[in-house]
Chain A
Amino acid sequence: MSFVALAAVFVTLDAYFIAVVQVLVYAGAVMVLFLFIIMLLDLREEKTRRVRLSAWVGGGLVIGGFVSALVQVISSLPGSGNTKPVVSNPEANDVALVGFTLFKDFNFPFQIIGVLLLVATVGVVLLSRKELK
């Protein structure tokens, strides 16, 4: 659900293409995959184990430090008080423009991504094979 909410935030930022891709890929594929795996693993009830205090303290410290750093940085950013600037052509076709940029300036990384997906597919098939006896 948080993924869909994030897609809505993208829409407010006029990034329609990204919003749709987010819903399709994340909410549609990644989460479904997660659910399938959870079902596959057939998890049993865990025994509750003793909570380690040191872990919680350490994690809390890191998180706290990060959040404070975040607030400091954002407040000191020069452009952080701006509201959304006006776009020169609000009716522009967002998908087409993203497509242009993707295929013109980023063509080579795009091809690499294709190869990456192929590699990931082959890897997953290999990893999930049952061992031959």
Chain B
Amino acid sequence: MQTAPWIILFTPLVAAALILLVGRFSKTLSSTLAIFSALTCCVLSWNLFLSGGEGPKISHTWLSFGPDLIIPISFTLDHLAKVMLLVVTTISPLVFIYSLGYMRDEEGYSRFFAGLSLFLFSMLGIVLADNFVMMFIFWELVGVSSYILIGHYYSKDSAADAGKQAFIVNRIGDFGFMLGILLLWFATGTVVFSDIVSAIPQLGTLPLYLTIACVLVFLGTVGKSAQMPLHVWLPNSMEGPTPVSSLLHAATMVAAGVYMLARIFPILEVVPTAREIIAWVGGITCFAAALMATQQSDIKRILAYSTISQLGYMVLGIGVAPTSDIAMFHLFTHACFKCLLFLAAGSVMIAMHHGVDMWTMGGLRKRLPVTMICFIAGMLALAGCPYTSGYYSKDLIIEWAVVQIPFLGWLAAAAAGLTAFYIFREFFVIFFGKERSSHAEHAKEQPITMLLPMLVLAIFAIFSGWPFIQEHFFTLERPEHVPHNLHPFLYGMFFGGAGLATLLYVKAAKDPVNIPLFANRLYIDAVYDWFVKNIQGGGAALLSWADRWVIDLLIVQVPSKLTWACGFALRFLQFGNIQAYAFFFGAGVVGLIYILISTK
């Protein structure tokens, strides 16, 4: 078992390399390699989980800058890592199999699978990483894979721009992340997680320093997990193919931010101020994103805002709960049902020939029954219908939030109502009513390669939250002194939201509710545009002026013209008369001799 982590980590990378080599010749070989590598990782991860124990500690020193900084390549296989491994490696093969059907007629088939394998490698690196630097490296690699996969249809301008935006916005968060890592290293002298955690008690006298470091590290999560204000890239990342949206931008990559917070949870425990900040960011994101989702009309974008909102829940969970298991539980269930919802949306899209506007759909319940059933499973879990997995996990987070920071707790509970509203809205508009376009009239069900993963995920989505299943993975505590009206309120939110959506949308031909503020995503995109155009543009103009007038003129032109002028003046010494040259030579020598004599 010593080699298991290495195999898990590197099999996808090898698969990606092989796919790039052979992909030109055989499409089936590419997909087979990718699926095979994903299944290998899955089997090995379950094996590791079921065999229990802490797992072997593996560590190689990779870079060493004296005793001050040692960067090992080492894996950690504690309980948190094993559970996350399960999430990543179980969902990945399902999505890969789904892609067989989804991408069958697309161009760039092999390139896609190579990108997916590269992503899997990077994500596993984040999960298995034992120290900050290794995690940061794989963090960036995940960003690169995301960029490649979002821009898969590279000839579309919107896709290329979306990829760029994702990477750049991520980078802003990573800047803070790096600063946080440096601060923590400076204080403790090490970058390994377990060593930092054990060094924390001695740093108890520096709470402000630690708080700042933790908030900076949290910036990385804000970027990667699309919290406000760096959430703008996630909706645009829907330009990528749907399997990418489901795997990266719902289940795994965006959850990496939450995973990282769970990793440093022991450090966060000693800085309550930082945890409050984290909780507030999470709570506000959760509510605002839910608001924005209620007015979108692109089926994938609704799910994207939903993802942002649920990630807000997870971050809120990190901020208010006593252990990280509570947020990780929601990550676990969210991965199942959100991935399922995306796969179902993808199935609908293919049936509609890549149409995404839900107002062109309608009445698909008759034509896509299996897809509808899967969508219902995911929808109920997301909305928090009692007895589905989503209910258990979301409920727990809201309970803790109400106990710790009541305002945020009730805000999150209200967001639960909004969640039910928007997802039921989407369901009814897509599957009910009359067909609103010719594509809708001719839609037909998808092949089994796409349906089977969805059905498997549907089972997970419903049942993975049930107590007798989740106790194998997590240890969850419930808070005491929960207000008595919380549970009825949550039930009311669910039924109220669902009911309102049913009333408004089950027979609607166009959206009866029109709130431009939400439809335009709280105008945050406009703020960014203004910022980039004016502030950054202004800065660029200033630098350009400096470059032309200061650098080019003063620093480059003046010396060059001066040199040329000197050369021109000296040219006149070339008389052509040999004896004149000899004269100058002799005079110089005599002068030198006199100088030497006089100084002796």
Contacts and interface: CB of A to CB of B under 8 A. Distances in A.
Q: Do chains A and B touch in the complex (CB under 8 A)?
A: yes
B597 A73 contact: yes
A70 B92 CA distance: 94
A65 B590 contact: yes
B597 A58 contact: no
B590 A66 contact: yes
B583 A59 contact: yes
A65 B592 CA distance: 11
A62 interface: yes
Contact of B590 (A55, A69, A76): A69
A72 interface: yes
Contact of B594 (A59, A61, A69, A76): A69
Main secondary structure of the interface of A (DSSP, over half): helix
B183 to A, nearest CB: 62
Nearest to B589: A66
A62 B590 contact: yes
Contact of A62 (B586, B597, B600): B586
Given A62-B586, A66-B586, A69-B590, A55 B579 contact: yes
Contacts of B594: 65, 69
Contacts, number: 26
A100 to B, nearest CB: 35
Contacts of A66: 586, 589-590, 593
Interface size class of B (residues with CB under 8 A): 10 to 19
B587 A62 contact: yes
Interface in B551-600: 579, 583, 586-587, 589-590, 593-594, 597, 600
Contacts of B590: 62, 65-66, 69
Nearest to B598: A72
Interface residues of A, number: 11
Interface string A36-73: 00000000000000000001001101100110010011
A88 to B, nearest CB: 33
Interface string A7-24: 000000000000000000
A50 to B, nearest CB: 15
Interface string B359-394: 000000000000000000000000000000000000
Nearest to A55: B579
Contacts of A72: 597
A59 B580 CA distance: 9
A69 B598 CA distance: 11
A58 B593 contact: no
Contacts of A76: 600
Contacts of A65: 587, 590, 594
Contacts of A59: 579, 583
A69 B593 CA distance: 7
A72 B590 CA distance: 13
Contacts of B597: 69, 72-73
B191 to A, nearest CB: 57
Contacts of A55: 579, 583
A76 B593 CA distance: 14
A65 B586 CA distance: 10
Contacts of A62: 583, 586-587, 590
Interface string B227-266: 0000000000000000000000000000000000000000
17 contacts: A55-B579, A55-B583, A58-B587, A59-B579, A61-B587, A62-B587, A62-B590, A65-B587, A65-B590, A66-B593, A69-B590, A69-B593, A69-B594, A69-B597, A72-B597, A73-B597, A76-B600
Interface of B: 579, 583, 586-587, 589-590, 593-594, 597, 600
Query: Top 4 closest A-B pairs, CB basis?
Result: A65-B590, A62-B586, A69-B593, A58-B583
Interface of A: 55, 58-59, 61-62, 65-66, 69, 72-73, 76
Given A65-B594, A66-B586, A69-B594, 18 more contacts: A55-B579, A55-B583, A58-B583, A59-B579, A59-B583, A61-B587, A62-B583, A65-B587, A65-B590, A66-B589, A66-B590, A66-B593, A69-B590, A69-B597, A72-B597, A73-B593, A73-B597, A76-B600
